[in-house]
Chain A
Amino acid sequence: MATVTATAPDTRTFAGTAWSWITTVDHKRIAVLYLVTSLAFFMLGGLEALLMRLQLATPESDLVSAERFTELFTMHGTTMVFLALMPLSAAFFNLLVPLMIGARDVAFPRLNALSYWIYLFGGIFMNISFVAGGAPNAGWFGYAPLTDTAFEATHAIDFWAFGLQILGVSSILASINFIVTIINMRAPGMTLNRMPMFVWMSMITAFLIIFAFPAITIGLVLLIFDRYIETNFFIPEGGGDPVLWQHLFWVFGHPEVYILILPAMGIVSEILPTYSRKPLFGYAVVAYSGAAIALVGFGVWTHHMFTVGLGPIADTAFAISTMAIAVPTGVKIFNWIATLYGGSISFKSPMLFAVGMVSMFIIGGLSGVMLGSPPIDSQVQDTYFVVAHLHYVLFGGTVFGLFGGIYHWFPKFTGRFMHDGWGKVHWLLMMIGFNLTFLPQHMLGIDGMPRRVHTYAAEMGFDLWNMMSTVGSLMIGLSFLIFIINALRSIRHGEPSGGDPWDGGTLEWTIPSPPPVYNFAEIPIVDGRYPAWDIKRGGGHTGAVATAPEADAEADEPDIHMPNPSYWPIVMAAGMVLAACGLIFHQAFILLGAVLFGISLLGWIEEPSA
């Protein structure tokens, strides 16, 4: 796909090709790895969801056993959050951040590869549990003390706890990498105030990860202590407090929601201007509201705990902070609509997904305001109303946004279009299927159906809504299948797109597709927020012209210094995950993992940098 550097192995053989991917440190290839892996996990999480929907289609069904059902909803949530949506966002960070800021790679290319390999191995590690004695089964927020050995003596919870720790390392490393990249490697002239909005949202997301993950890291360490060395942090009999876990989890967990949605908001903030041919309306306000959401997002966590019994003062304080978040969120939406206003809107598939994101996210936001009021929450908390709400945010918002991004930047990845007609079919089916799945779930919650139930009695009156929901979920599954076929076909047979198929405004559209290894033959000088438009429109709206990079520079003989490929990242990641296996299977793995880690660390340090 992308060209390889002169030092890379021979890609004419299969082994050579595989080796070139294993050792790659090119941000674009790592983006492809992230994309493919996260879509595979997305499919897995989707299959888990479909199994649950089939079980719930009819009352008192026994298609899936109660035990299996608990594994399915735990792994569905965990997979979608940590193995599908976060890494899918990471695919976009990897592809786009360097291209959008006019850099040749990220700040730490090997660290970038390490993040990916840790993610891949961590994801596999967690899913091995299905065939190694039982998958995690305490829900994706794993409330204590159900996670204690007294209630789950198998290793199911250990897979979950170690898996999340491993994935956390990957996320934090990637975040440091992108913060450094964004702060230090922007092309000359690209002030923070001229950064593409997607880069803004990437940076805010990276900061969120760095500040939010330590909370869950600590929580998981304490949980592992409770399970392995019989401490009592969350065990009431020993003086511990299960509510402490909830605080630690949601101090992480609420910002996590913004970690999942902000990248999609960034993508939409790039797509809407492109397809309406207008700059983003209220750029500064959109950036600041993103930052405001992130900041206030750290002060709302107990709205997940309104039914814990923290008392009216705490409930009031957190209801107010939660409501406050509606303001910057609303502002973003109004600014998006104003971006479209007066534009010349073309409805290509990326735009349909972006508009779908805005319209569905609105619903998730509004039901969020309802949940923010503790008396209302006391009724619908832990019911299907919450399931509906969170899917309007994370599916209606994040998934629609990210799919829009895939259709939009697929030509940049591959040099070819995805088929637009099939893209629209995908969108329509997903739109109908999504609403058919999740709209009725609001009613289920209000009618009193708790979440995480593997069955319900016929006389509860839940049948019709559940059947609709299952039919809708099958439509979503079908739409995803159409997407996959479309994508696979388009890689080889899609219509060639050229470097700038959408009349884009940001820097990545000034270079060929797929981009050369070194991205920019000559580092561009930036003089406005939409440098590519400036070039194409000859002065354009900012009244300034960026120095045009040589879009079709001679790729064969670039006198550009690029980082060498390295196999140490994959070795180091393997060492980490092997060590975690040691705590579950056999202690010998710990030693093996530590040795691999040590060797790779030395190798990493000693590796010639050029």
Chain B
Amino acid sequence: MHKARPSVTRANGDESRPIQGRRSTPLTRNRRIYATLLAPALAVAVLALAACGVTPQTTLEPTTEAARTARDLLMFVFWAMVVTFVLVEGALLYVLIRFRRRSGDGIPAQTHGNTPLEIGWTIAPAILVVVIVVLTVPAIFSNARAAGPDALKVRAIGHQWWFEFQYPDLGVTTANELHLPVNREVEIQLESNDVLHSFWVPSLRGKLDMVPGRENKFTIKPEVTGTFPGQCAEFCGTAHALMKFHVVVETQAEFNAWLQNERTDRVAPASELASEGEANLTLGGCVACHTIRGTDSAGILGPDLTHMGSRKYIAAGILENTPENMRAWLSDPQGVKPGNTMVIPELTTEQLDSLVAYLQGLK
């Protein structure tokens, strides 16, 4: 590539002289340059490791086969890309340093192309992407496989800005907290009541959109018990960031117990204050939108509250279900979740207290 070009001259005045091959550079100088470039890269890597804290919604801790397939593919392609990155950026850096202009340089050899080389670097990325495609395609189909006949069926319905979960074969409806038995196949059917939403629990599976007018479904088989956070992943309006939910994967026995409880009507108020709370449901406007089986409250616009006291979170997975949070939520729904449609009239402290006591008691 460095054919000497005798007597090339530049017209615009630079001192020109014949090139007699490239002068050798002291190796130490290049080393120093490489070292300076490497230092910040290492610093970033160290920082990255230090920053690995607890991230409950990570995609890297799969608990189903579907999530594991995605994670494994992600890690494989990631490392393939890291190797490519190091090779290509390395080549770029090498060339930049090796061929930096030195005083006295003339016009370098004018190369225009090299067909075998260019064919070579067309084929190289082609081989890499073919490998990735070959690994990808079976994963696509395994993620899309249909459920067996014994699968538990769940309808997940997106609303602005909460999730409704129905178990059509079990006659149960709940909200924002999906209970699933461990090691049993589940078919989740996704629908939307208004705009686009997306059902995403990273530890269970990649996301799938909830599209009004369409029915998407996927099948998973949770393998680990625990509570896993999920979140709407398709922008759905003002409170999109606050549309969360949790999936509780539990043993079959725990699941059955939960189911048993869900099927019953609401627990009768256990205290006088709570009884007042039930009486205040109408005053608070709750009855218009919420269902509490066993009471007059039979609205269908908002989440079913029959057993809301037993849920771990309120306001679509954003607040822990404590009396303080419940009170905060009831006294200022717009402050907690901007844009939401819950309307509550101005309530006295006593009325608020009674509602909080009542709702907390709906185990």
A-side residues, CB < 8 A to B, are 65-67, 70, 138-139, 143, 145-146, 150-151, 236-237, 240-243, 276-279, 281-285, 307-309, 311-312, 315-316, 319-320, 323-324, 326-327, 330-331, 333-335, 337-338, 340-347, 355, 358-359, 362-363, 366-367, 369-370, 372-383, 439-440, 443, 446-457, 459-462, 464-465, 500, 503, 535-538, 540-541
Contacts and interface: CB of A to CB of B under 8 A. Distances in A.
A330 B125 contact: yes
The 6 closest A-B pairs by CB, nearest first: A378-B206, A236-B213, A448-B57, A453-B241, A536-B11, A330-B125
Nearest to B318: A457
B294 interface: no
B126 A327 contact: yes
B54 A461 contact: yes
B202 A537 contact: no
A499 B11 CA distance: 13
Contact of A309 (B132, B202, B214, B232): B214
B322 to A, nearest CB: 15
Contacts of B211: 242-243, 308-309
Interface in B161-211: 190, 194-196, 198, 200, 202, 205-209, 211
A323 B59 CA distance: 23
Contact of A337 (B95, B125, B214, B235): B95
Interface stretch (B84-92, B260-268, B301-309): B84-92
Interface stretch (B137-145, B247-255, B325-333): B137-145
Nearest to B201: A448
A237 B137 CA distance: 35
B18 interface: no
B101 interface: yes
Nearest to B137: A316
B77 A376 contact: yes
Contacts of A66: 238-239, 241-242, 338-339
Most A CB contacts (10 A, CB to CB) among B12, B122, B233 go to B233
B211 to A, nearest CB: 6
B347 interface: no
Contact of A285 (B53, B113, B133, B241): B113
Contact of B140 (A312, A443, A537): A312
A331 B105 CA distance: 29
A145 B193 CA distance: 11
A278 B108 contact: yes
B83 to A, nearest CB: 10
A345 B237 contact: no
Given A276-B99, A537-B107, A464 B51 contact: yes
Contacts of B194: 145, 150-151
B95 to A, nearest CB: 5
Most B CB contacts (10 A, CB to CB) among A308, A347, A540 go to A308
A373 B135 CA distance: 9
Contacts of B213: 236-237, 240-242
Contacts of A279: 110-112
Interface residues of B, number: 103
Given A341-B95, A370-B78, A541-B110, A452 B206 contact: no
Interface stretch (B1-9, B270-278, B351-359): B1-9
Contacts of B257: none
A369 B81 contact: yes
A503 B140 contact: no
Nearest to B74: A376
Nearest to A275: B101
A362 B89 contact: yes
A196 B308 CA distance: 69
A10 B9 CA distance: 46
A319 B99 contact: no
Given A341-B1, A369-B129, A375 B51 contact: no
A307 B11 contact: no
A143 B140 contact: no
Contacts of B8: 537
A376 to B, nearest CB: 5
A449 B122 contact: no
Nearest to B218: A309
A313 to B, nearest CB: 9
Contacts of B212: 145, 236, 242
B195 A151 contact: yes
Most A CB contacts (10 A, CB to CB) among B53, B57, B124 go to B57
A320 B132 CA distance: 9
B136 interface: yes
Contacts of A334: 88, 118, 121
A150 B140 CA distance: 36
Nearest to A320: B133
Given A375-B70, A378-B143, A344 B55 contact: no
B139 A375 contact: yes
A311 B206 contact: no
Given A276-B108, A326-B129, A366-B84, A342 B198 contact: no
Given A312-B140, A312-B141, A448-B55, A377 B206 contact: yes
